[in-house]
Amino acid sequence: MERTVLKYPFGEPHRMLLDPMYAHVQEHEPLARVQMPYGEPAWLVTRYADVRAVLGDARFSRAFGRDEPRTVPHANDGGLFSMDPPGHTRIRALVAKAFTVRRVEQLRERTERLADRLVDEMVASGPPLDLVEQFAVPFPVTVMCELLGVPVADRRRFGKWASVIVSTTLSPEKAAEYRARLGLYMRKLVDQRRREPTDADLLGALVQARDNDDRLSEPELMHLSTTLLSVGFETTSAEIPNFVYLLLTEPALRQRLVDEPALLPSAVEEMLRFSPIAAFAMFPRYATVDVELPSGPVRAGEAVLVHTAAANRDPRVFAEPDVIDPGRTPNPHLAFGHGVHHCLGGPLARMELRTMLATLLRHLPGLRLAVTEEEIPWKKRQLIRGPEALPVTW
């Protein structure tokens, strides 16, 4: 019997809801055959056990060199995301020291001061205002610029060019233009670090690794620096309004955090589990040999797409998965992935999100939406989901 091939993605993301098809295939077709608009067919896995198995199994490769499943006509060079060990291990090790828990803790005090300042500016300008523009974007951008060593004053320039990373609507010509402009911008900063060497920021350390230790090639240096600048703030700037949206539309959640502020760390983990920030599964893995997953076999050479957001709502692992429980424990979510491609920025994102929630709850206890839920504009045709704007008042 020939297996039905499903059109994927299933549909345009709607608020923070998962398309009902994910629950359907998770229950009835855990190895679902899907076809994206471009590239070859793939298996879609949505159960927690399958997703974790694929992400943690070295027999699945990201270094495809194939017509990978995708939503855009042009195939992107994923850089670090499309590498396997040992090359991936070498480059990741150069960046990892900037995102250790210890390094993030050293940034905490400055991050808290930044959050306080941004809220003070919000209060000074008065409500209503757009939380995305006034807080969700400048907060993680400033933190990442400081970590990387990029002038935050250039945010409006490089922010537009960095959008190529998450957009599915840019034409190949416009995408190439944005990449080129971002590349030229980073080239000037790299040249500056060469004239004035420093290891005080991550960009300076990467330049030294290229020039003195020969641990990076020049293309690797440029690709890595532009990727860090783009990805380093795009996801967090989307997740902040996602979290605030949940907070302002879930009165019981908000009240519990006001009453029990000690729950903030576990609440962040629970909101990370619940938030389906990826619009759809991407970054296919290719089986290098035949692999038997918990839900069935994958043959050598076949592509597999994993949907972590669906896995994070798997009732086999999470009781009442569609309920936000800030005290949920244990909470082995996969919001930051798993295995060798586990998100390097996880500790930083956690710290930023905890700081954001604590600051808003402390300074603006009366924060509320300035529009109805239906009037909130959401991002469309992008790789990550979240409100384009979040009008709030207090």
**What span, in angstroms and rounded, lies between the C-alpha atoms of 371 and 350?**
28
How large is the average pLDDT for residues 161-181? 72
Q: Which of 99, 165, 38 is nearest to 347 (CA)?
A: 99
Residue that the structure tokens 């429980």 belong to: 325
Boundaries of every domain in the chain = 6-393
Each residue's pLDDT tens digit, 302-326: 999 999 999 999 999 999 999 999 9
**What span, in angstroms and rounded, lies between the C-alpha atoms of 179 and 21?**
34
**What span, in angstroms and rounded, lies between the C-alpha atoms of 289 and 76?**
25
Q: How confident is the model at residue 91 (pLDDT cuts 50, 70, 90)?
A: confident
Q: Does the pLDDT of residue 198 top 90, yes or no? A: no
Q: Does the pLDDT of residue 77 top 80, yes or no? A: no
Average pLDDT over the chain, rounded to whole?
Answer: 89
Question: Following CA atoms 143, 56, 209, 351 in sequence, which dihedral angle do they give, to the nearest 10 degrees?
Answer: 20
Q: Does the pLDDT of residue 178 top 90, yes or no? A: no
Q: How many CB atoms lie within 10 A of CB 200?
A: 8
Max distance between CA atoms of the chain, in angstroms, equals: 66
Quote the pTM value: 0.90
CA dihedral over 269, 270, 275, 278, signed as positive or negative: positive
DSSP assigned state of 380: -
Asked whether the beta carbons of 103 and 111 are under 8 A apart, the reply is no
Question: Containing H/E element for 346?
Answer: helix 346-363
User: What is the CATH architecture assignment of 6-393?
Assistant: Orthogonal Bundle (1.10)
Please give the pLDDT value at position 89. 80
**What span, in angstroms and rounded, lies between the C-alpha atoms of 75 and 209?**
29
